Homo-oligomer: A and B are copies of this chain.
Amino acid sequence: MSRRRVANPLALAVLSCLNERPMHPYEISTTLRERGKEQSIKLNYGSLYSVVEALQKHGLITTRATMRAGRRPERTVYEITTAGVEEFEDWLAELLSTPMREFTSLEAGLSLMAGLPPDEVVRLLDKRCDNLRIELRSMEAAGQVAAEMGLPEIFTVESHYRHALLTAELAFVTDVVKRIRSAEFGGTKVWRRMHELHANGISFEEIMTDPVGHLGEEARILQGPDQPHT
């Protein structure tokens, strides 16, 4: 299991709210939403209530009161404990100081992109660039509005961070597209040839049993690490 007994980042957001003042879970959810935190921390009811329960079980928060108005569902108000404050500060410190291994979907896509022909990949990545530019522009517009409302940067860093990452992604993908187009991208020729053969009815399995024979000397790397004399 993870080092923290409650691992979901939503738990950190809960601690953050309760560090300000006692609240009931639904109030936490609306507070986070109002402040735009659901942009950076995944929030859904199922997780919220189980995370709150887990925090309580581990003594990081306690119920302060349960009240009801009329026949409505009970509202349970929670408050943070000393241990909870400590956990909040320690966890936040870790998030800020220590880069974590994260798995993004583009990384997954890039790592398997050899499965599609290069021209198709170029087309798809080009489309991504368009999408990225659109999103970047809409983030910039939203940032403008926030700035005009006098919202200080401390409340919008996350979105500036996302903007910076998306900008870097756009630059990277643009470059990759350009280099596949010019075949400057390492391996493009073998990659293209392989999909041409496949389009002509030769299975990948067959190609892979004798890569050099089908694709030429450059395909030597495709040979499994050790299939010696048989």
Q: Which residue from B96, B97, B115, B162 sits with its C-beta under 8 Å from A16?
A: B115
Smallest Cβ-Cβ distance to A132: which chain B residue: B99
Q: Would A106 and B97 be within 8 Å (CB), given that A89-B116, A153-B186, A204-B19 are in contact?
A: no
The reply to whether the CB of A108 lies closer than 8 angstroms to some CB of chain B is yes
- In the complex, how many angstroms separate the beta carbon of A217 from the nearest chain B beta carbon? 11
Interface check A148, CB cutoff 8 A: no
Name A186's contact: one of B109, B154, B168 (CB within 8 Å). B154
How far, in angstroms, from A178 to B205 measured CA to CA in the complex? 54
Q: Which residues of B contact A19 (CB under 8 A)?
A: 115, 204
Shortest beta-carbon distance from A69 to chain B in Å: 19
Taking CB as reference atom, which chain B residue is nearest A16? B112
Q: List 16 A-B contacts (CB under 8 A).
A: A9-B108, A20-B208, A21-B204, A21-B205, A39-B111, A40-B108, A42-B103, A97-B125, A99-B128, A102-B105, A114-B154, A151-B221, A153-B187, A161-B172, A164-B172, A165-B165
Contact A113–B128 (Cβ < 8 Å)? no
| Set of chain B residues within 8 Å of A51, measured between Cβ atoms | none
Q: In this assembly, does A65 line the interface, its C-beta being within 8 Å of a C-beta of chain B?
A: no
Q: Does residue A26 face the partner (Cβ distance < 8 Å to B)?
A: no
Contacting pair B157 A110 (CB below 8 A): yes
Q: Closest CB of chain B to A209's CB: distance in Å?
A: 9
Identify which of residues 150-190 in chain A touch chain B, using a CB-to-CB cut-off of 8 Å.
150-155, 157-158, 160-162, 164-169, 171-172, 176, 185-188, 190
For A172, what are the chain B residues with a Cβ–Cβ distance below 8 Å?
Answer: 160-161, 164-165
In the complex, what residues of B have CB within 8 A of residue A154's CB?
A: 113-114, 185-188, 191
- Cα distance, A132 to B104, chains bound together (Å): 18
Give the chain B neighbours of A9 by CB distance below 8 A: 103, 105, 108
Digitize A187-225: 1 where CB-to-B-CB distance is under 8 Å, 0 elsewhere: 110110000000000001100100000000000010001
